[in-house]
């Protein structure tokens, strides 16, 4: 094996080890249609134990309960410790489909995941998640898994560049910005990069009256960096459809 090939094999594990330590906590059932079994925020009825550090001490639990102060979202997540009950702000979890939210995690260490605010020490034990019918999935795997269920992905502001090869020094094919550029993931991945098909529409598919051929301006194929260096997606989608 040449030195070049050896570098290719070990490079992703060196460079991207931290990058894929962020993602979502989801039910283990192989479906994105969770509403029949779970409501609002995806957690088991009995909640999850919270630790102050990986292999640390128990400091409380997070649990889904009725939020009497919010008529629009009757269920919310609370951090419960002794007699104290603190509402977790909805900005700390992600809407993954219409009115269904998932808890996000921001780090993985020794079989534990850090949840919510990355500046605070709130950790869940992965073994407990699994026993209660849940799993962790990093952002890249989640985006690929969900790709066929969304209208398309779109580039976060200020936009992305599509390149011929999966690296920042490769030739630029074009720029992607706004929701007239629909991104489809092919599933071919190298590190933070994914091969994509980008369709530029003359008018947005949700509002156009043009037929399928006339509404398309260009179609490009190349590579984009779908996960940033902090491990978060460079893409978004209409989780509630058009």
3-class secondary structure per residue, 71-96: CCCCEEEEEEECCEEEECCHHHEEEE
Overall number of domains in the chain: 2
- Residue 11's pLDDT is what? 41
Looking at the fold, whether 93 and 118 belong to one and the same domain comes out as yes
Looking at the fold, whether 63 and 128 belong to one and the same domain comes out as yes
Which band of pLDDT confidence, cut at 50, 70 and 90, is reported for residue 2?
A: very low
Of the listed ranges 2-16, 32-46, 140-154, the least confidently predicted one is 2-16
Looking at the fold, whether 126 and 168 belong to one and the same domain comes out as no
**CA atoms of 193 and 20, how far apart (whole Å):** 12
Yes or no: say if 75 and 41 are a contact pair by the CB < 8 Å rule: yes
Residue 176 lies in a domain: yes
Q: What is the pLDDT of residues 35-53, one digit of tens each?
A: 556 667 889 889 999 999 9
Which is more confidently placed, 42 or 153?
Answer: 153
Residue 224, φ and ψ in degrees, nearest 5: -130, 155
Residue 200 lies in a domain: yes
Looking at the fold, whether 132 and 166 belong to one and the same domain comes out as no
> How far is CA 11 from its chain centroid?
24
Q: What share of the chain is helix, strand, coil (3-state, %, to 5)?
A: 15, 40, 45
Looking at the fold, whether 85 and 126 belong to one and the same domain comes out as yes
Mean predicted confidence (pLDDT) in 102-118: 91
Looking at the fold, whether 197 and 121 belong to one and the same domain comes out as no
Residue 95 lies in a domain: yes
Place of tokens 């091969």: 195
Looking at the fold, whether 140 and 155 belong to one and the same domain comes out as no
Q: Extract the tokens encoding 173.
A: 């094919």
Q: Which of 81, 114, 144 is the last residue of a domain?
A: 144
Looking at the fold, whether 127 and 16 belong to one and the same domain comes out as yes
Residue 65 lies in a domain: yes
pTM for the full model?
0.84
Domain limits for position 52: 3-144
Q: Extract the tokens encoding 185.
A: 């993931």
Looking at the fold, whether 136 and 218 belong to one and the same domain comes out as no
Looking at the fold, whether 113 and 128 belong to one and the same domain comes out as yes
Looking at the fold, whether 140 and 154 belong to one and the same domain comes out as no
């Amino acid at each position: 094996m040449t030195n070049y090939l050896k570098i290719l094999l070990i490079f992703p594990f060196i460079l991207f080890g931290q990058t894929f330590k962020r993602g979502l906590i989801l039910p283990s059932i192989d479906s994105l249609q969770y509403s029949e079994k779970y409501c609002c925020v995806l957690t088991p009825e009995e909640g999850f134990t919270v630790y102050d550090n990986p292999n640390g001490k128990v400091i409380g639990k997070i649990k889904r309960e009725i939020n009497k102060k919010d008529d629009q979202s009757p269920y919310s997540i609370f951090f419960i410790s002794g007699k104290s009950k603190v509402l977790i702000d909805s900005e700390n979890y992600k809407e993954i489909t219409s009115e269904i939210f998932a808890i996000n995690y921001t780090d993985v260490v020794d079989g534990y995941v850090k949840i919510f605010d990355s500046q605070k020490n709130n950790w869940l034990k992965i073994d407990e998640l699994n026993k209660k019918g849940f799993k962790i999935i990093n952002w890249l795997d989640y985006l690929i898994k969900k790709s066929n269920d969304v209208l398309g992905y779109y580039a976060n502001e200020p936009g992305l560049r599509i390149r011929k090869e999966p690296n920042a020094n490769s030739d630029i094919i074009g720029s992607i910005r706004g929701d007239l550029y629909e991104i489809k993931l092919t599933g071919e991945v190298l590190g933070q990069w994914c091969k994509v098909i980008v369709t530029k529409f003359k008018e947005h598919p949700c509002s156009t009256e043009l037929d399928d051929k006339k509404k398309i301006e260009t179609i490009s194929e190349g590579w984009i960096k779908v996960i940033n260096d902090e491990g978060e997606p460079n893409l978004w989608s209409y989780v509630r459809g058009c």
